[in-house]
Chains A and B, each alone.
Chain A
């Protein structure tokens, strides 16, 4: 055991002196977590500008456009409204991307509406912006729906044998849509910086753990390994010491990302005990897989290359490069076959569902199993590599 601790201490000192290892364990995941969190951390950055062309300029259309512009000027509104002179100006604005969709109110619309004659609203949209097109269509439909409902109500009243009501009476029509109740979703929203903190920590764990294989290969080449084997240290103790050091480094990096994203960015990771245990299980799982993969390497360069390949492949499958909630069902199912996916799901449950250790026990068990199976085989191969 003393040999394990001594090797771990020596390896840790070497890693800390080598600033690239510190970059891999601490700086890399932290920088990428912040960048990805700002860019992909949800849909808050979704914002659209809808143009409005009022060719009618009647009281009806003026009231509608004034209401729209005022709504767009409210704080934190994702929808800005820009008034445009005519249809050509609207097409030009769409072409250069100044607006994302345009609503055209035709001449004569106000009179037609007041006389119950219906009308036509046109939405000009960019096919590459389906959401913006649908938002503009929704605004137009809401206006059209209100007018159509009142026209139908007037016709129904006449159909029931009563006289045609005037516009003042119709204005009092009570629409069910006005009784929608709004409710804030319960629970805690997933924080983008925390999500990518986990994602990037997992990715970089692979690189940190691959130092074991590259270190063994390098020490065999420069004779250090032979000298270590000449001491009382057993081959397994040498490997275990190196594994302990890099896992400790990886865990410290993970915890640093947790601390910095929580303190500097206010990210909520959830129940601390569950977070810590999931971190340990993730380090075990990723460490196991990285040990297994790098066990096939014969040179430091091979160890780095093999680990990088597997790290990127698992990160792609596990959803590390994809924003939360955006993976299609198939990819979401596939991700559960990777330690990355299991870990991300566990951390998400802890943050969003306020899950405690009991709530993520199944995923922790899977992560530990990943670590034991792959890590066990990897350790055997590494031990053989030491004595080779």
Chain B
């Protein structure tokens, strides 16, 4: 039997077994889509900084500062009833920092006394970022008040008169304005909210399910299917080619379904079709190789079933499938480069977010080819030894 025909038989058998197992179908198709829906609708592609406010109703100035915070892009304002609630939220990472207004903010500002406190975890860097945002919002509101107070002190006029004069001049006096320009080709403006989570879960689940499929190879070894195949005119090389094709076909089928649902249902633009296709095929081969390797290395199906998902989740987390690579601490980023998921995610981000083509992902794709060759090669050597040993 030619290798081509053998591979076709192996692929057919693997697909028939997959469709006969409803729980496998759940993990192959339903779970990835559910995760994409939950994570995509929860987080989208942007981030936000949460600033807590206590006493935002304590005077006109407190209300104005809170409104200024509300207007800031990328900032979510959360109201709290007490400082204890705000402290708890900061320590739960539900807010990066917060403002606690004095009982009467207007009177405190007029008297030159502290009008509010900024609260944060001093060890958390998010608190320093939140402070910048709060200071800018407060400065916008308190500037005219400070100007009037200074003018009153300098001229000897009463504060109310100075404030009325300053209010009359606000808008007439030239100010330093701040304008914001979005750069780029506009591609990011049109991105679906699922553009980050869809590639993340494509990479995560293709690899996890490929590892889990290693149990099927274990089963084939245990019940003697492979030995019976070897009893015929089929060589070890043909068996290995067939197995690789079958495992890659399963990974490819899962990939195509996630790509299709991502594109059609969630509006994900996967980028250059040729580059996306190459990346999908290469990563399917990486998954297939990893699955075969697990299937020949471990001694029983129990072990493959129980160890596969945690290994897949850990490597996925390390490779940027759960947290964007951009927010990785430097040390973790170095570690991440040792796992194939990192290279797959790097390539997908270039295709989806930057609109790059095949040439731009050549580096990561070549690294993935290296992983695939390594995994399949090691599995082939080990399996060949097993088959020839009987």
**Chain B 1-42 per-residue mask, 1 if CB under 8 angstroms from chain A, else 0:** 000000000000000000000011011000100110010001
Which chain A residues in 112-138 approach chain B with CB under 8 Å? 112-113, 116-131, 133-135, 137-138
In the complex, chain A residues whose CB is within 8 Å of the CB of B154 = 153, 157, 162, 165, 169
Q: How far is the CA of A120 from the CA of B175 in the complex (A)?
A: 8
Closest to A146 in B: B139
Closest to B72 in A: A134
Is residue A155 within 8 Å, beta carbon to beta carbon, of the partner chain?
A: yes
In the complex, chain A residues whose CB is within 8 Å of the CB of B232 = none
B42, B121, B137: the one contacting A327 at CB < 8 Å is B42
Closest to A121 in B: B178
Check B91 against A188 for contact (C-beta < 8 Å): yes
Assuming the contacts A95-B183, A160-B157, asked whether A119 and B176 have C-beta atoms less than 8 A apart, the reply is: yes
Stretch in contact with the other chain, from A20-28, A223-231, A237-245, A255-263: A20-28
Q: How far is the CA of A188 from the CA of B75 in the complex (A)?
A: 25
Which chain B residues in 121-148 approach chain A with CB under 8 Å? 121-126, 128-129, 131-140, 142-148
Is residue A308 within 8 Å, beta carbon to beta carbon, of the partner chain?
A: yes
Q: How far is the CA of A187 from the CA of B317 in the complex (A)?
A: 30
Q: How far is the CA of A327 from the CA of B38 in the complex (A)?
A: 10
In the complex, chain A residues whose CB is within 8 Å of the CB of B95 = 325
Check A144 against B173 for contact (C-beta < 8 Å): no
Check A179 against B132 for contact (C-beta < 8 Å): no
Check A95 against B184 for contact (C-beta < 8 Å): yes
Check B306 against A126 for contact (C-beta < 8 Å): no
Is residue B248 within 8 Å, beta carbon to beta carbon, of the partner chain?
A: no
**Chain B 87-124 per-residue mask, 1 if CB under 8 angstroms from chain A, else 0:** 11111111110001000000001001111111111111
Which chain A residues in 165-184 approach chain B with CB under 8 Å? 165, 169, 173-177, 179-184
B142, B155, B176, B353: the one contacting A118 at CB < 8 Å is B176
Is residue A304 within 8 Å, beta carbon to beta carbon, of the partner chain?
A: yes
In the complex, chain B residues whose CB is within 8 Å of the CB of A147 = 175-176
Instruction: Please report the total number of B residues contacting A with Cβ < 8 Å.
Output: 117
Number of CB contacts from chain A to chain B under 8 A: 360
Check B147 against A123 for contact (C-beta < 8 Å): no
Q: How far is the CB of A250 from chain B (nearest CB, A)?
A: 14
Main secondary structure of the interface of B (DSSP, over half): helix
In the complex, chain A residues whose CB is within 8 Å of the CB of B87 = 185-187
Check A180 against B135 for contact (C-beta < 8 Å): yes
Check B120 against A23 for contact (C-beta < 8 Å): no
Check B306 against A156 for contact (C-beta < 8 Å): no
Which chain B residues in 29-85 approach chain A with CB under 8 Å? 31, 34-35, 38, 42-43, 45-49, 72-75, 83-84
Which chain B residues in 263-309 approach chain A with CB under 8 Å? 300, 302-303, 305-307, 309
Which chain A residues in 91-110 approach chain B with CB under 8 Å? 91, 94-95, 97, 109
**Chain B 147-174 per-residue mask, 1 if CB under 8 angstroms from chain A, else 0:** 1111100110100011001101110111
Closest to B304 in A: A20
In the complex, chain A residues whose CB is within 8 Å of the CB of B91 = 185, 187-190, 352
Q: How far is the CA of A185 from the CA of B98 in the complex (A)?
A: 9
Closest to A149 in B: B143
Check A323 against B93 for contact (C-beta < 8 Å): yes
B38, B117, B302 — which one has the most chain A CB atoms within 10 A of its CB? B302
In the complex, chain A residues whose CB is within 8 Å of the CB of B172 = 155
Which chain B residues in 161-206 approach chain A with CB under 8 Å? 161-162, 165-166, 168-170, 172-184, 188-189, 191
In the complex, chain B residues whose CB is within 8 Å of the CB of A32 = 310, 313-314, 317
Assuming the contacts A32-B317, A134-B73, A152-B143, asked whether A144 and B135 have C-beta atoms less than 8 A apart, the reply is: no
Check B47 against A20 for contact (C-beta < 8 Å): no
Check A137 against B180 for contact (C-beta < 8 Å): yes
Q: How far is the CA of A181 from the CA of B138 in the complex (A)?
A: 13
In the complex, chain A residues whose CB is within 8 Å of the CB of B183 = 91, 94-95, 124-126
Assuming the contacts A19-B303, A187-B88, asked whether A157 and B155 have C-beta atoms less than 8 A apart, the reply is: yes
Is residue A35 within 8 Å, beta carbon to beta carbon, of the partner chain?
A: yes
In the complex, chain B residues whose CB is within 8 Å of the CB of A152 = 143-144, 147, 166, 169-170, 173, 175
Check B332 against A38 for contact (C-beta < 8 Å): yes
Q: How large is the interface on A (under 10, 10 to 19, 20 to 34, 35 or more residues)?
A: 35 or more
A35, A153, A312: the one contacting B31 at CB < 8 Å is A312
In the complex, chain B residues whose CB is within 8 Å of the CB of A222 = none
In the complex, chain A residues whose CB is within 8 Å of the CB of B100 = 183
Check A180 against B128 for contact (C-beta < 8 Å): no
Is residue B389 within 8 Å, beta carbon to beta carbon, of the partner chain?
A: no
Assuming the contacts A44-B123, A145-B143, A325-B92, asked whether A316 and B35 have C-beta atoms less than 8 A apart, the reply is: yes
Q: How far is the CB of B10 from chain A (nearest CB, A)?
A: 21
Q: How far is the CA of A122 from the CA of B327 in the complex (A)?
A: 26
Assuming the contacts A32-B317, A153-B146, asked whether A131 and B116 have C-beta atoms less than 8 A apart, the reply is: no
Q: How far is the CA of A176 from the CA of B182 in the complex (A)?
A: 32
Q: How far is the CA of A95 from the CA of B300 in the complex (A)?
A: 50
Q: A20-B305, A145-B140 are in contact. List 7 more A-B contacts (CB 8 A).
A: A130-B74, A131-B48, A148-B143, A149-B147, A185-B119, A187-B88, A352-B88
B residues touching A (Cβ–Cβ < 8 Å)? Answer: 23-24, 26-27, 31, 34-35, 38, 42-43, 45-49, 72-75, 83-84, 86-96, 100, 109, 112-126, 128-129, 131-140, 142-151, 154-155, 157, 161-162, 165-166, 168-170, 172-184, 188-189, 191, 300, 302-303, 305-307, 309-310, 313-314, 317-318, 322-323, 326-329, 332, 353
Pick the 8 closest A-B CB pairs, nearest first: A118-B174, A130-B74, A305-B23, A43-B126, A78-B125, A325-B93, A145-B139, A325-B94
Could you show 10 A-B contacts with beta carbons less than 8 Å apart?
A28-B310, A43-B126, A78-B126, A112-B174, A125-B182, A138-B135, A144-B177, A159-B165, A181-B114, A305-B26
A residues touching B (Cβ–Cβ < 8 Å)? Answer: 18-21, 23-24, 28, 31-32, 35-36, 38-40, 42-48, 76-79, 91, 94-95, 97, 109, 112-113, 116-131, 133-135, 137-153, 155-157, 159-162, 165, 169, 173-177, 179-190, 204, 207, 301-302, 304-306, 308-309, 312-313, 316, 321-328, 331, 348, 352-353
